[in-house]
């Protein structure tokens, strides 16, 4: 006969358990939640779509101007020059700094904060392996970063599909959208891997963020120098390809290289033609492989080594 | 049925050997792990958890092989670390629920269980607040809660009363005692504080320089040969000692107001003799107990 | 069971109606007390005011009202007083690359000691704390116990009259604790005033019988533990007894007017008696022994610091 007074003392857990292979999803969901909660994330995402907004605004004005005198000719001129897939490349190029900031926001503290608060003691003392942890964290960066790239791009694509059909938006390259998503996917994977690795090396989110930003900017200087040199064209022809390659020896360059390779473009100018020399052709595959795969492998390996629950005692 | 069975465990950090050919049969119930700093206690816990790979040796915990079934072991193990280890930016409920999910509990169950366990460890309304705002006592409770959330069969507690004020210590020790007796949870307590171990544990394992030195029940460890009696007087009196010897008791030693005597007959007979002696010496008896070694003395003796 | 005791009288530290608050939050509320030579335990829950009191005594802050006097002077920013104080705080950050010896030598130089004098004093201090052979290695590899000893050494180098220690036994194993307590007892015997703030009551009990108990900023009790125990009227002494004729014993005890209650614990087969006059009770037991009702065990479970603390704080 059970007592009318409930026994509220401690009891063990009798229920069922979720399967082992979904363990990483727990970590992923938590990381995603944390990322999407930040207001800065959404603001940065909107701002990073600057190019798309500018393009829409410009094309809108040209379109409405077309109703008036001489506007038709301008409109023809404008839209004839536009290469649609390059808009997505420029979407990245214009907003790349903000996208770096999003990666920072979402990823810099991911492992670094856990290092500091010794949260790994909790993670690894549960039936949760290093692999689950890293995969969960990686996905927790990949998805928000990819979303930040994909959402403005997708919105622009739909806008384009509706409004620029007559200019060949859909027909120029029927596979444009999958290619864009593919580029976004690879670029996000690249960034996530890099920042995951960097985050694991530090004890403070701030320091990891500074390291990533520093690496981004410093290597980006290469890209800038290369671009300037290329534009001046003062160097002999044999050296030029190396200058172009220099451009890609940067985090920015790696991402841009991915875009250019997947979208199969060397880039173009939408608003003001600055001349061919300002365009850096897409990288050779071997170069891209080196620029992308080396840091990714290195940093992921570093993260694997660094994640542990034990401080080594001398 | 031992909870864990370890044979020949050797663990090294570089050139430093933390555990050396360590073997242990861990019984059910509440066991205390004692040892000086650097004896290998935390190393042992971390080996059980799979954080460290031993150089040699192995064993079973909860029936699972340490070397190959680490995941199953950790499913049945709950670990309360010595250091602070919360995840910043979360409330107590989310943190403990998250820990539950990491241990395989489905989301709803994890949340429900988190509340249950937080209630048990004494965190009331505070559980909705951010963990960063918590006092030391509350953090200790959360650490215990996250160790219990998935209903482990073996709980590993590393210095559970660290940083707690006296009231907090009482409450924590009561919790540990409660959970290890009658609730089907086995506990291994790692602590420097011997009275903590005395209050909670039935058996004690002493580690020193990476080796097992002693494994006994607390009562046995404290027993003295021959069951002598400690008599506490209001003032120390040599007359009493003479009188006691005249009654047939053997004088062993005296410390402050306490005189240790060896009786020959039953407890009642010895007590009667003591009172006689006290009467004739004109002193007041204020305490009468079976002499025990303090756990501290026992411990110091073992490691010498 | 050596316990530090108050020697002579001597007001080394005196607080007179000292209060200190931080904005709205009260640190110390109208506390008056005296601390003399020997070991004094500073007790209280977290946030009770212990660190405020230590800060006032070391002259790091001023009381908002009231006075704090150390050797008769105001300790605030007072180099005279400062030279006689040694502080061993609860922090654990050291310049890890230095060796223990170097660290203490640097602290000594900071105190104003000359190079050779510093070396000499440091060696003395290291010997006193038992670190003389081990102080050459860098601090990075030190165990908690070794760090505690280094902290004590640096607090002692200038031979202060007053030592303030915040949780000094934290992290020490039983061996280390015993050694540390012996060191403190030795210092107390030299006539120094040692104030130890700690939560671990059974350790404190082994070091001293004089306590200062703070609670929510107020001074709850100051003095010797046993005398305090006597005065806690609300909680009569609890005495546990065993006897062959347990129930007879119980009925006899209940007849005495100074016995407040008698309760039989069937599990332990013991009798727990509460009485406000323990003395009379023990005499009564002796009489019963005469009459053939012999008690085989007498224990006072609440005659210790932990119970005293609980009784005082719970109200």
> For residue range B134-182, what is the model confidence (pLDDT) as tens digits?
888 899 999 999 999 999 999 999 989 988 888 888 899 999 998 988 7
Percent of chain B clearing pLDDT 70 (strictly above): 100
Residue of A nearest to B47 (CA): A310
Cβ within 8 Å, pair C174-B192: yes
Question: Which chain B residues are Cβ-neighbours of C168 within 8 angstroms?
Answer: none
Question: Which chain B residues are Cβ-neighbours of C299 within 8 angstroms?
Answer: 287-289
Cβ within 8 Å, pair C175-B289: no
Name the pLDDT band for A152 (thresholds 50, 70, 90): very high
Best of B288, B299, B303 to disrupt the C interface by mutation (most C CBs within 10 Å)? B288
CA distances from B284 to B251, B276, B280, C236, C243 (A): 18, 11, 11, 20, 18
CB A116 within 8 A of CB A204: yes
Average pLDDT estimate for B175-193? 89
Question: Which chain B residues are Cβ-neighbours of A12 within 8 angstroms?
Answer: 151, 153, 183-185
Q: Which residue has the higher pLDDT, A77 or B171?
A: B171
Q: Which of A240-254, B282-296, C15-29, C206-220 has the lowest mean pLDDT?
A: A240-254
Cβ within 8 Å, pair C174-B137: no
Average pLDDT estimate for A209-229? 85
Percent of chain A clearing pLDDT 70 (strictly above): 93
Residues 134-163 of B with CB under 8 A from C: 135-137, 163
Same domain membership, residue C244 and residue C127: no
Q: What distance in Å separates the CA atoms of residue B111 and residue A26, rounded to the nearest whole number?
A: 13
A12, A23, A122 member nearest B151 (Cβ): A12
Percent of chain B clearing pLDDT 90 (strictly above): 37
pLDDT in tens, A104-119: 999 998 898 888 888 8
CATH number at residue C310: 3.30.70
Question: Which chain C residues are Cβ-neighbours of B289 within 8 angstroms?
Answer: 297-299
Best of B13, B14, B32, B37 to disrupt the C interface by mutation (most C CBs within 10 Å)? B37
CA distances from B210 to A28, A78, B5, B40, B44 (A): 39, 79, 17, 5, 9
Q: How many CA atoms lie within 13 A of A154 on its CB side?
A: 11
Q: What distance in Å separates the CA atoms of residue B3 and residue A117, rounded to the nearest whole number?
A: 31
Task: Kindly report, as residue ranges, where domains of CATH 3.30.70 are found in chain B.
Answer: 229-299
CB-based contact, B267 to chain C, within 8 Å: yes
CATH architecture classification, B229-299: 2-Layer Sandwich (3.30)
Three-class SS state of C64: coil
The closest alpha carbon to A174, from A186, A185, A165, belongs to A165
Average pLDDT estimate for A8-15? 81
In a domain, C42, yes or no: yes
Residue A153 burial by CB count (10 A; 0-12/13-18/19+): exposed, middle or buried? buried
Same domain membership, residue C151 and residue C89: yes
pTM equals: 0.81
Same domain membership, residue C167 and residue C80: yes
Best of C49, C182, C200, C226 to disrupt the B interface by mutation (most B CBs within 10 Å)? C200
pLDDT at C226: 79
Q: What distance in Å separates the CA atoms of residue A206 and residue A176, rounded to the nearest whole number?
A: 38
CB-based contact, A125 to chain B, within 8 Å: yes
pLDDT at C67: 92
Average pLDDT estimate for B271-275? 92
Q: Positive or negative CA dihedral for B76, B80, B85, B88?
A: positive
Question: Which chain B residues are Cβ-neighbours of C174 within 8 angstroms?
Answer: 34, 36, 192, 194, 296, 299-300
Q: Which residue has the higher pLDDT, C9 or B82?
A: B82
Best of B18, B50, B89, B103 to disrupt the A interface by mutation (most A CBs within 10 Å)? B103
Which two tokens mark B220? 């046995």
Cβ within 8 Å, pair C290-B289: no
- Which range in A139-148, B79-88, C194-203 is most confidently predicted, on average pLDDT? A139-148
pLDDT in tens, B15-41: 888 888 889 999 999 999 988 776 788
Cβ within 8 Å, pair B271-C1: no
Cβ within 8 Å, pair B109-A15: yes
Q: Which residue has the higher pLDDT, B304 or B4?
A: B4
Which two tokens mark B192? 């420097």
In a domain, C5, yes or no: no
Same domain membership, residue C286 and residue C200: no
Altogether, the residues listed in chain A come to a count of 314
CB-based contact, A26 to chain B, within 8 Å: yes
pLDDT in tens, A155-195: 999 988 888 887 878 888 888 889 899 999 999 999 999 99
Cβ within 8 Å, pair B103-A128: yes
Same domain membership, residue C53 and residue C28: yes
H or E element that contains C95 = none
In a domain, C94, yes or no: yes
pLDDT at A276: 67
In a domain, C212, yes or no: yes
Cβ within 8 Å, pair B71-A309: no
Same domain membership, residue C220 and residue C263: no
Cβ within 8 Å, pair C286-B275: yes
3-state secondary structure chain B: CCCEEEEEEEEEECCEEEEEEEEEEECCCEEEEECCCCCCHHHHHHHHCCCCCCCEEEEEECCEECCCCHHHHHHHEEEECCCCCCCCCCEHHHHHHHHHHHCCCCHHHHHHHHHHHHHHCCCCHHHHCEHHHCCHHHHHHHHHHHHHCCCCCEEEEECCCCCCCHHHHHHHHHHHHHHHCCCCCEEEEECCCHHHHHHHCCEEEEEECCEEEEEEEHHHHHECCCCCEEEEECCCCHHHHHHHHHHCCEEEEEECCEEEEECCCCHHHHHHHHHHHHHHHCCCEEEEEECECCHHHHHHHHHC
Report the DSSP beta bridge partners of residue C14: C34, C69
Name the pLDDT band for B42 (thresholds 50, 70, 90): confident
The CATH homologous superfamily of the domain defined by B4-222: P-loop containing nucleotide triphosphate hydrolases (3.40.50.300)
Cβ within 8 Å, pair B166-C309: yes
Domain coverage including residue C242? 232-314
In a domain, C210, yes or no: yes
The closest alpha carbon to B122, from B103, B101, B100, B144, belongs to B144
Average pLDDT estimate for B37-63? 85
Cβ within 8 Å, pair A312-B14: yes
Provide, for chain A, the percentages of residues in helix, strand and coil under a 3-state DSSP scheme, each rounded to the nearest 5.
75, 0, 25
Name the pLDDT band for B115 (thresholds 50, 70, 90): very high
In a domain, C62, yes or no: yes
Same domain membership, residue C26 and residue C44: yes
pLDDT at C8: 40
Same domain membership, residue C158 and residue C252: no
Residue of B nearest to A136 (CA): B102
CB-based contact, A13 to chain B, within 8 Å: yes
Question: Which chain A residues are Cβ-neighbours of B18 within 8 angstroms?
Answer: 313
Cα distance from C259 to chain B (closest Cα, Å)?
A: 16
In a domain, C146, yes or no: yes
Residue A175 φ then ψ, to 5°? -95, 15
Same domain membership, residue C146 and residue C124: yes
Average pLDDT, chain A: 84
Same domain membership, residue C184 and residue C158: yes
Cα distance from C145 to chain B (closest Cα, Å)?
A: 8
Task: Kindly report, as residue ranges, where domains of CATH 3.40.50.300 are found in chain B.
Answer: 4-222
In a domain, C190, yes or no: yes
Q: What distance in Å separates the CA atoms of residue C17 and residue C19, rounded to the nearest whole number?
A: 6
Name the pLDDT band for A314 (thresholds 50, 70, 90): very low
Question: Which chain A residues are Cβ-neighbours of B77 within 8 angstroms?
Answer: 125
The closest alpha carbon to C83, from C56, C110, C101, belongs to C110
pLDDT at A77: 77
Same domain membership, residue C257 and residue C134: no
CB-based contact, A36 to chain B, within 8 Å: no
Same domain membership, residue C115 and residue C254: no
Which two tokens mark A170? 């859909």
Instruction: Examine the fold and report which residue of C200, C225, C250 is the final residue of a domain before the chain moves on.
Output: C225
Instruction: Examine the fold and report which residue of C194, C225, C256 is the final residue of a domain before the chain moves on.
Output: C225
- A23 has pLDDT over 60: yes
Task: Look at strands B56-61 and B4-13 and give their pairing.
Answer: antiparallel
Average pLDDT estimate for A91-101? 87
Based on the structure, what is the number of domains in chain C? Answer: 2
Q: What distance in Å separates the CA atoms of residue C207 and residue A61, rounded to the nearest whole number?
A: 86
Instruction: Examine the fold and report which residue of C175, C193, C225 is the final residue of a domain before the chain moves on.
Output: C225
- B53 has pLDDT over 90: no
B74, B85, B178 member nearest A119 (Cβ): B85
CB-based contact, A113 to chain B, within 8 Å: yes
Residues (pLDDT < 50) of chain C are 1-9
Question: Which chain B residues are Cβ-neighbours of C1 within 8 angstroms?
Answer: 255-256
CA distances from A231 to A217, A248, C134 (A): 21, 16, 66
Cβ within 8 Å, pair B255-C1: yes
pLDDT at A313: 42
């Amino acid at each position: 006969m059970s007592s009318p007074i409930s026994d509220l003392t401690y009891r063990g857990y009798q229920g069922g358990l979720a399967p082992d292979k979904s363990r990483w999803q727990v970590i992923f969901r938590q990381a995603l939640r944390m990322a999407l909660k930040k207001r800065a994330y959404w603001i940065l995402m909107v701002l990073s779509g600057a190019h798309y907004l500018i393009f829409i605004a410009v094309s809108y004005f040209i379109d409405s101007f077309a109703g008036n005198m001489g506007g038709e000719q301008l409109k023809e001129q404008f839209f004839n020059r536009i290469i649609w897939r390059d808009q997505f490349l420029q979407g990245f190029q214009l907003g790349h700094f903000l996208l770096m900031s999003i990666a920072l926001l979402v990823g810099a503290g991911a492992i670094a904060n856990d290092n500091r608060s010794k949260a790994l003691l909790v993670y690894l003392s549960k039936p949760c392996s290093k692999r689950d942890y890293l995969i969960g964290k990686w996905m927790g960066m990949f998805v928000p970063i990819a979303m930040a790239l994909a959402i403005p791009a997708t919105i622009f694509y739909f806008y384009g599909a509706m409004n620029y059909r007559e200019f060949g938006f859909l027909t120029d390259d029927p596979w444009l959208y999958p290619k864009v998503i593919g580029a976004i996917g690879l670029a996000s994977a690249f960034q996530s891997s890099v920042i995951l690795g960097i985050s694991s090396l530090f004890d403070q989110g701030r320091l990891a963020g500074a390291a990533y930003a520093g690496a981004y900017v410093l290597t980006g200087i290469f890209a800038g120098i290369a671009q300037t040199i290329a534009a001046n064209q003062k160097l002999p022809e044999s050296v030029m390809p190396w200058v172009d390659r220099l451009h890609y020896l940067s985090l920015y360059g790696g991402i841009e290289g991915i875009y250019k390779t997947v979208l199969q473009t060397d880039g173009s100018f939408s608003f003001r033609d600055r001349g061919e020399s300002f365009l850096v052709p897409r990288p050779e595959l071997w170069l891209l492989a080196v620029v992308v795969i080396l840091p990714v492998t290195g940093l992921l390996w570093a993260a694997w080594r660094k994640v542990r629950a034990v401080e080594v005692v001398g | 049925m031992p909870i864990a069975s370890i044979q020949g465990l050797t663990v090294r950090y570089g050139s430093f050997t933390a555990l050396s050919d360590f073997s242990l049969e861990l019984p059910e119930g509440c066991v205390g792990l004692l040892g000086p700093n650097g004896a290998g206690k935390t190393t042992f816990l971390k080996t059980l958890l799979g954080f460290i790979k031993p150089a040699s040796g192995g064993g079973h915990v909860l029936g699972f092989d340490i070397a190959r079934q680490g995941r199953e072991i950790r499913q049945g193990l709950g670990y309360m670390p010595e250091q602070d280890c919360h995840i910043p930016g979360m409330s107590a409920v989310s943190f403990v629920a998250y820990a539950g999910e990491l241990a395989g509990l489905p989301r709803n169950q994890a949340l429900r269980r988190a509340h249950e366990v937080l209630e048990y460890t004494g965190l009331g309304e505070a559980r909705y607040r951010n963990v960063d705002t918590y006092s030391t006592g509350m953090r200790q409770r959360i650490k215990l809660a996250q160790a219990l959330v998935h209903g482990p069969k073996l709980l590993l507690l590393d210095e559970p009363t660290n940083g707690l004020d006296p009231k907090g210590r009482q409450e924590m020790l009561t919790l540990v005692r409660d959970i290890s007796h009658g609730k089907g949870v086995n506990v291994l307590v790692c602590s420097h504080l011997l009275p903590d171990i005395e209050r909670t544990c039935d058996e004690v394992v002493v580690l020193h320089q990476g080796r097992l030195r002693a494994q006994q029940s607390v009562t046995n460890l404290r027993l003295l040969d021959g069951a002598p009696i400690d008599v506490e007087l209001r003032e120390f009196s040599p007359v009493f000692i003479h009188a006691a010897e005249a009654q047939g008791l053997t004088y062993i030693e005296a410390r402050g107001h306490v005189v240790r005597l060896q009786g020959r007959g039953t407890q009642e007979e010895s007590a009667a003799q003591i009172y006689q002696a006290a009467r004739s010496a004109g002193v007041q008896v204020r305490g009468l107990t079976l002499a025990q070694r303090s756990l501290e003395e026992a411990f110091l003796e073992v490691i010498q | 069971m050596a316990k530090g005791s108050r020697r002579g009288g001597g007001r080394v530290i005196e607080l007179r109606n000292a209060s200190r608050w931080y904005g709205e939050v009260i640190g110390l509320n109208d506390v008056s007390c005296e601390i003399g030579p020997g070991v004094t335990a500073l007790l209280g829950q977290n946030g009770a005011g212990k660190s405020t009191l230590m800060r006032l005594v070391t002259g790091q802050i001023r009381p908002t009202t009231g006075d704090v006097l150390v050797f008769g002077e105001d300790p605030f920013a007072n180099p005279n007083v400062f030279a006689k104080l040694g502080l061993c705080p609860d922090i654990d950050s050291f310049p890890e690359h230095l060796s223990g010896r170097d660290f203490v030598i640097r602290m000594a130089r900071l105190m104003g000691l000359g190079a050779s004098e510093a070396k000499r004093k440091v060696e003395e201090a290291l010997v006193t704390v038992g670190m003389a052979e081990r102080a050459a290695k860098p601090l990075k590899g030190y165990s908690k116990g070794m760090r505690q000893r280094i902290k004590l050494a640096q607090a002692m180098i200038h031979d202060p009259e007053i030592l303030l220690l915040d949780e000094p036994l934290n992290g020490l194993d039983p061996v280390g604790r015993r050694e540390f307590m012996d060191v403190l007892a030795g210092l107390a015997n030299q006539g120094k005033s040692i104030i130890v703030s700690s939560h671990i009551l059974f350790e404190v009990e082994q070091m001293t019988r004089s306590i200062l108990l703070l609670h929510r900023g107020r001074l709850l009790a100051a003095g010797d533990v046993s005398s305090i125990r006597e005065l806690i009227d609300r909680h009569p002494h609890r005495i546990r007894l065993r006897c062959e004729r347990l129930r007879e014993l119980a009925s006899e005890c209940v007849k005495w007017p100074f016995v407040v209650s008698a309760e039989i614990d069937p599990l332990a087969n013991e009798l727990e008696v509460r009485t406000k006059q323990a003395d009379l009770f023990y005499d009564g037991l002796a009489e019963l022994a005469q009459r053939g009702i012999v008690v085989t065990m007498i224990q006072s479970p609440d005659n210790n610091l932990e119970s005293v603390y609980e009784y005082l704080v719970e109200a």
